[in-house]
Amino acid sequence: MDIGIPKEIRPFEFRVGLSPAGVEMLIQNGHQVYVEHEAGIGAGFDDQEYESAGARISYSSDEVFGRADLLLKVARPTMRELEWLRPGSAVAGLLHLASSRRDKVDVLLEKKITSIAYEQIELADHSLPVLRPFSEVGGSMTATIAARFLQANRGGKGILLGGVPGVPPAEVVILGSGVVGVTATKAFLGLGAHVTVISNDLMGLQRLHERHPGVVTMLSTARNIEKATSYADVVVGAVLVSSQRSPVLITRKMVQKMKPRSVIIDVSIDEGGCVETSRPTTHELPTYVEEGVIHYCVPNMPSVVARTATHAFVNAAMPYILELANKGVDDAIKADPSLEMGINTHKGKLVHLTLLAAGNNGLE
């Protein structure tokens, strides 16, 4: 199979669809890999590393897209990239179609592209193996981001997360007890913050309490969220409903009742955000102030730690990539129910169960 690794063109996307180690594994399995010139430079992989692994370096985006039976990306394709895709080919990446524009989905359908959303590959226990490493990276980053924007020179309240003797630590409220929520909890505790976790998953809260007895746990109700956010110095939105837009759990009225110059980090912004006042930002301008509260809403948080994120992602995704390459897309989908869960469009049809049931009405 011919496999393409393009250079990501979205602003501040430094990750790459496959590392040189991943390329070497594909070459050893008899496949041809085309890597666009400097595709891995943001993650610290140069062209020579890819060539040493057996890849062919292409100096044209058109060639990489045009040759690829399977295109491996990180960020969802732009409209220009969708136009480059060869009809009948396959593309894998963090597609987030539940919050994508309808016209982009239409192009995938018209060109009969098989689209594989890494974030929707799901095991029998409902865990998301390929999304997990990105969630772990994002969750770990929340504590250092919060510490930075709580500083007075960044517009924050001038609070040290861990406090000092005689001065209490910051109050951190985390919505969600999934991978992001648990990882964020660990990171904030490591810096000495006082943490409250709110979730509708009672079992998840019980596990969290057993692991970190000092953490306050609360069931997710509008009353509890309103109460907790009113005293929070930092709120982390870590809500994920697989294949769907994130539910809005924090309303504008709740934000209005938060303490001035506190910080919201909406990690759920990839899927539309769980805060009513959230809107996507970039790594160049990561924050804005709404209702007196600092909002950090960068969709591709892990991209600025691109080398770590790429290595972690490839470790998780490689079994599925090899399956697609070795068996072919159609046979791989039939053979692996977990991989099938990640298929959004196939042969001109919208096939993911959640999007199909919604008639794609949730797409913006």
* Catalytic sites, residue numbers: 96, 270
Give the per-residue SS3 of 64-125: HHHHCCEEEEEECCCHHHHHHCCCCCEEEEECCHHHCCHHHHHHHHHCCCEEEEHHHCCCCC
CA distance 355 to 114: 15
With contact defined as beta carbons under 8 Å apart, do 333 and 339 qualify?
Answer: yes
Identify how many contiguous H helices and E strands the chain contains and give both numbers: 14, 15
Question: Hey, CA dihedral for 179, 185, 188, 191, is it positive or negative?
Answer: negative
**Backbone φ, ψ for residue 165 (5° rounding):** -55, 125
DSSP letter string, 5-70: EPPP-STT----S--HHHHHHHHHTT-EEEEETTTTGGGT--HHHHHHHTPEEES-HHHHHHH-SE
Helix (H) or strand (E) holding 296: strand 293-296
> What tokens appear for 195 in the block?
């943490």
- 3-class secondary structure, 219: strand
Per-residue burial over 16-35, b if 16 or more Cβ lie within 10 Å, else e, is: bbbbbebbbbbeeeebbbbb
CA distance 245 to 320: 25
CA distance 45 to 35: 11
How many residues are given for the chain? 364
**Chain centre to alpha carbon of residue 330:** 26
